[in-house]
Structure 1
Amino acid sequence: MSTAASHITYGGAVKPIAHASSTAALQPAVDWPAAARIAARLAPPGPVAPRQRLHDLVGGLREAAGTAVGHVHEVTRMAPDGVPSPVVVVDRASWARANTQSMATMVDGIEDVVPHPLAPAVQAAGAAEVGAVLALLSGRVLGQFDPYVPGGSPGRLLLVAPNILQAETSMGVPARDFRLWVCLHEQTHAWQFAAAPWLADHLRDRTRGLVTELTRTSAELARARIDRKIAVVGKAVLDALRGRGDTLVDGFLTPAQKDTLADITAVMALLEGHADVMMDAVGPSVVPSVRRIRARFERRRDGEGRPAFDVVLRRLLGMDAKLAQYRDGATFVRAVERKVGREGLNAVWAEPGNLPDAREISDPRAWVRRVHG
């Protein structure tokens, strides 16, 4: 945030961590504490505002997060066990640090597949790459439900105060409405993981398996001739910029890895689309300016007014793919609800086998036939 905001105590500390691996004898592929320091140092400053406004912002976000819980319960018709997840209002640097913690937790154990100990320079390079990407993303994320808190703690809801302030100001929408609207989306994510307590482990296992395979593939690429390296990297970059791959990493995937990634992406599309539909479903009686917020927010998502460089950056960081997840998932959710209602849709949270795969996310009728007969 700004210098004036740097003295504000947010809703909970995101503390530095040591490497999360349970295998003490092995070195991580990334120096995670270093990645956290780099990300925090490179995170851009947020908007400048009077100190009182910043205090009101933090208090307003905490209030909105609490208010959202009852509305999410009513609109989703889901009844998860447990208490609401803790809410942590953070600045950009703290969000970036928190995500290094989550990433370390998600990929814990992949060191087993590394054929030889990694040199400190390799770990440092990984830290620099992760830290730089998180720093770039830290100015774009409004909120996030994080189910991968180190040490087995329950998930936490992160609200990035400077980004919410910047968004509501630039779009010219009522602050109180917008903050509640954002919290409705993020609390829906918290509800999803609470209603499906197996979901966090399912996603982590699939992601860890993919990262493990990518680690093996990367090791093979590292031993390849220089012309082979240049060809693979060059194709990946060109595909990303020309729109033939979802992200930069897509160019490095084998066909089997692409299938795995497609199924993971389908689940993420479900989560994001479901949250997007639910945050609007509360209607104007709860968020009076919801239609105006949605219209202006969609234009913001599409990059209205952003420079050409930002369009390229969005492609390389996979942000366009993320945007497609919201829209594909929302289309799936609405189509399923038209067929079997909201209670029928909620069957997706019953067990892993009920999650849509990559084909079904674009063919909701196929999911309905498989799950509901």
Structure 2
Amino acid sequence: MNQFVDWKLAAKAAKTLMPAGPKIQSQDAARIVEELRIAAGEGLVEAEKVSKLSSSAPSQTLVVDRAGWAKAVSQNFSAMLPAARQEVPGAVPLIAGAELGAVLSVLGTRVLGQFDPFVGPRLLLNAPTITQIRGELNVNARDFYLWIATHEQTHRLQFEHAPWIPEVMKQTLAEAFEPLAGNTSSMRDLGERLKSMKSEVSELTSIMSVLEGHAMVVMNDVTSIRSIKTIRRRFEARGENRSALAILLGKVLGLDAKALQYKRGAKFVRHIVDEIGYEGFNEIFTDREMFPSADELDHPERWRARTR
């Protein structure tokens, strides 16, 4: 096999291990799917309005069940990872596929949506999990759908205005995996390889933190969501939430979980936006060198001093 991960196995394992989600009548399911599609369109409008970024590139919206979400996310990561130049020895792809399938089975019950820049591009909305969590939070459905859609559509704008970001992700993964082909029979060797890639991994954690933080700040600045304070308070009370992309990159690359928290990136973005506005902040997407270092992420004034 010339893949480091058996992604078909990962999707199959996730489907087997994941609960299907809340049981609802077919007419209610159809209504929820339609409302989520509407929210996706409205979310792009709100994301553009707040962020001061605009989209002109086409994108697909998929409202999926949990098994469909796991399959789509597996396809996304398969497109990110390089194919090995030679046969990957041993049971590494099967072990990695089973491990990541187990991770996906947990994420599928937590992650509400995902913007996929590698396949599509496309927006994925996980209908059963959105329905379940909205019920648990007891919040207005339309407001909640719009809040989530705005977050994911902000990612769409980020990738469109900084097309170099997906390439950095793919490059980092390639540098981590490609030298291992033909020389490893375990994932332990990958961990050793990553220890020699501190600068690349540090850059990727900073990029992911800013992307997630920016999406959070934008979604929380939407003024048309009447119950946004209630949604924010109840959602944040559930604990730290990260995207599937952030969590799976952390799993594959061993990225520092603390570095990938929404709050760390959101604090940086909030500081910069309050100081120079969204238009000023958007300069960050123009060039790779404009993104903050790990140190600047925690000290935005240093980033400002460097980039003025």
TM-score by length of 1: 0.73
Instruction: Report what 1:98 is aligned to.
Output: 72
**Displacement after TM superposition at 1:67 (Å):** 1.0
Counting only pairs closer than 5 Å after superposition, residues 39-118 of structure 1 correspond to structure 2 as 39-83=14-58, 85-109=59-83, 111-112=84-85, 117-118=88-89
How far apart, in 2, do the equivalents of 1:138 and 1:329 lie?
Answer: 24
Cα RMSD (Å)? 2.8
Query: Partners of 2:141 and 2:194 in 1: how far apart?
Result: 46
> Residue 104 of structure 2 aligns to a residue in which SS?
helix
Is residue 157 of structure 2 the alignment partner of residue 191 of structure 1?
Answer: yes
Q: Which has the higher contact order (CA 8 A, sep 6+)?
A: 2
Distance 2:176 2:255 in 1: 20
Corresponding residue for 2:198?
Answer: 258
- CA-CA distance at 1:323 after TM superposition: 8.8
Whether 2:235 is the aligned partner of 1:297: answer: yes
SS at match of 2:125: strand
Q: Deviations over 1:218-273 (max 9, x none)?
A: 83978xxxxxx8xx9xxxxxxxxxxxxxxxx9x75654333322221110011000
How far does residue 207 in structure 1 lie from its aligned partner after superposition?
Answer: 3.0
Aligned to 1:359, the other structure's residue is in SS state helix
Question: Aligned residue for 1:306?
Answer: none
Gaps of 5+ in 1: 1-25, 223-228, 233-248, 304-314
Distance 2:71 2:233 in 1: 32
Cα contact 2:206–2:293 (8 A) shared by 1: yes
Q: Is the 8 A contact 1:81 1:195 kept in 2?
A: no
- Deviation track 1:47-102 (CA, whole Å, cap 9, x = no partner) reads 1122222111111100100111211111111134323x211001111111112111
Tell me the equivalent position of 1:351: 287
CA-CA distance at 1:118 after TM superposition: 1.5
Taking the TM superposition and a 5 Å limit, the aligned residue runs for 1:136-175 are: 136-149=106-119, 154-175=120-141
Q: Which runs of 5+ in 2 are unaligned?
A: 242-249
Residue 330 of structure 1 aligns to a residue in which SS? helix
1:48–1:320 CA distance, 2 compared to 1 (3 A) = farther
Count of matched residue positions in the alignment of Structure 1 and Structure 2:
299
Deviates more, 1:86-95 or 1:33-42: 33-42
1:219 paired to 2:184: yes
> How far is the alpha carbon of 1:160 from its aligned partner?
0.2
Q: How does 1:301-316 map to 2 (within 5 A)?
A: 301-302=239-240
Seen in structure 2, the aligned counterparts of structure 1 residues 322 and 159 have a Cα distance that, compared at 3 Å, is farther
1:126 aligned partner: 96
Shift of 1:187: 0.5
The Cα shift of 1:326 comes to: 0.6
Does structure 1 residue 30 correspond to structure 2 residue 9? no
Cα contact 1:29–1:118 (8 A) shared by 2: no
CA distance, structure 1, for counterparts of residue 101 and residue 139 of structure 2: 32
Greater Rg over alpha carbons, structure: 1
Match for 1:267 among 200, 204, 207?
207
The whole-number CA distance in structure 2 between the counterparts of 1:344 and 1:69 is 20
Which of 280, 289, 306 is the aligned partner of 2:220?
280
Greater shift in the superposed pair: 45-54 or 172-181? 45-54
Asked if the contact 1:274/1:329 (under 8 Å) is kept, the reply is yes
CA 1:319–1:174: 2 relative to 1, 3 Å: farther
Deviation at 1:148, TM superposition (A): 1.2
Tell me the distance in 2 between the aligned counterparts of 1:125 and 1:272: 29
CA distance in 1, matches of 2:135, 2:80: 35
Counterpart of 1:123, as a letter, is P
One-letter amino acid of the counterpart of residue 28, structure 1: Q
Distance 1:340 1:207, change over 3 A: farther
Q: Identity, % of aligned pairs?
A: 38
Call closer, same or farther: CA 1:51–1:320 in 2, change over 3 Å: farther
Q: Distance in 2 between matches of 1:42 and 1:319?
A: 25
